[in-house]
């Protein structure tokens, strides 16, 4: 009996190890998706760079906190409604479409904004904070597309429970915050190399066009 128990226990252990081994590629796939979506250009990252160039990193921190909070809230909302979204995907596709329109609007504002002026920046004109960062997430077409795909397509086959989705949402948000900081640091370095009004204008156009390409992709995937 003891040998049978040990044998069955050994089989169970091997089975668990096999399941963990089988899960590894899927976990890697989830992280790959999250990293790709968080660190590629989007409204949050582009605005993080643009705002840091214009006002410096310290004055961008409240904007980051607002983005992080809104990002986490939006992800939690989609996790809660994942089953409902699967049934009514057309509604969420429409939300993504509206968000893409806002992205194009934001791209235009960045591309045609006046060159960076240090004296004007010191007046804190157009300074964005926590509230603006939080509200932006509800208009962010990339965020809606990101979370809808993550919760209903990537996680559903392997992590279908609400608890697991909320845990992944927390992990996702941490990567999102890391991406914001990374793009802000890039803004610090870019400001050194685009110091003249003409160079700054070229940088604004480049950032705006990068964001516009995302908006167009969301409309015509």
Alpha-helix residue ranges (DSSP H) falling in 81-129: 82-87, 89-111, 118-122
Residue 180 three-state SS: helix
Q: How many CA atoms lie within 13 A of 35 on its CB side?
A: 6
Radius of gyration of the chain (CA): 21
* pLDDT tens digits, one per residue of 82-92: 888 878 878 77
pLDDT given at position 136: 92
User: What pTM value is reported for the model?
Assistant: 0.80
- Is position 77 within any domain? yes
Percent of the chain, pLDDT > 90? 42
- Is position 193 within any domain? yes
- Is position 23 within any domain? no
- Is position 75 within any domain? yes
Q: Which domain holds residue 202?
A: 39-219
* pLDDT tens digits, one per residue of 126-162: 788 999 999 999 999 999 999 999 998 888 777 778 8
Q: Contact 116/53 with Cβ under 8 angstroms? A: yes
Confidence of residue 119 (pLDDT cuts 50, 70, 90): very low
Percent of the chain, pLDDT > 70? 84
pLDDT at 191 over 60: yes
Show the CA angle centred on residue 210, arms to residues 206 and 216, nearest 5°.
140
- Is position 128 within any domain? yes
Structurally, the chain folds into a number of domains equal to 1
- Is position 20 within any domain? no
Top pLDDT among 195 and 27 is at: 27
- Is position 29 within any domain? no
């Amino acid at each position: 009996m003891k040998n049978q128990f040990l044998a069955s226990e050994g089989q169970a252990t091997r089975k668990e190890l096999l399941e963990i081994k089988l899960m590894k590629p899927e976990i890697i796939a989830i992280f790959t998706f999250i990293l790709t979506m968080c660190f590629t250009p989007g409204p949050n990252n582009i605005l993080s760079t643009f705002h840091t160039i214009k006002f410096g990193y310290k004055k961008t921190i409240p904007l980051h906190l607002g983005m992080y909070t809104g990002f986490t809230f939006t992800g939690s909302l989609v996790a809660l409604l994942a089953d409902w979204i699967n049934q009514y995907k057309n509604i969420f596709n429409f939300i993504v479409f509206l968000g893409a329109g806002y992205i194009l609007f934001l791209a235009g504002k960045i591309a045609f904004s006046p060159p960076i002026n240090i004296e004007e920046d010191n007046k804190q004109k157009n300074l964005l904070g926590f509230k603006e960062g939080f509200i932006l997430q509800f208009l962010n077409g990339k965020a809606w597309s990101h979370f809808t795909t993550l919760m209903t397509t990537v996680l559903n086959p392997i992590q279908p429970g609400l608890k697991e989705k909320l845990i992944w949402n927390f992990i996702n948000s941490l990567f999102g915050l890391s991406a914001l900081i990374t793009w802000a640091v890039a803004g610090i370095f870019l400001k050194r190399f685009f110091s003249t009004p003409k160079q700054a204008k070229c940088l604004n156009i480049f950032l705006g066009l990068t964001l516009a390409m995302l908006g167009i992709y969301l409309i015509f995937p």
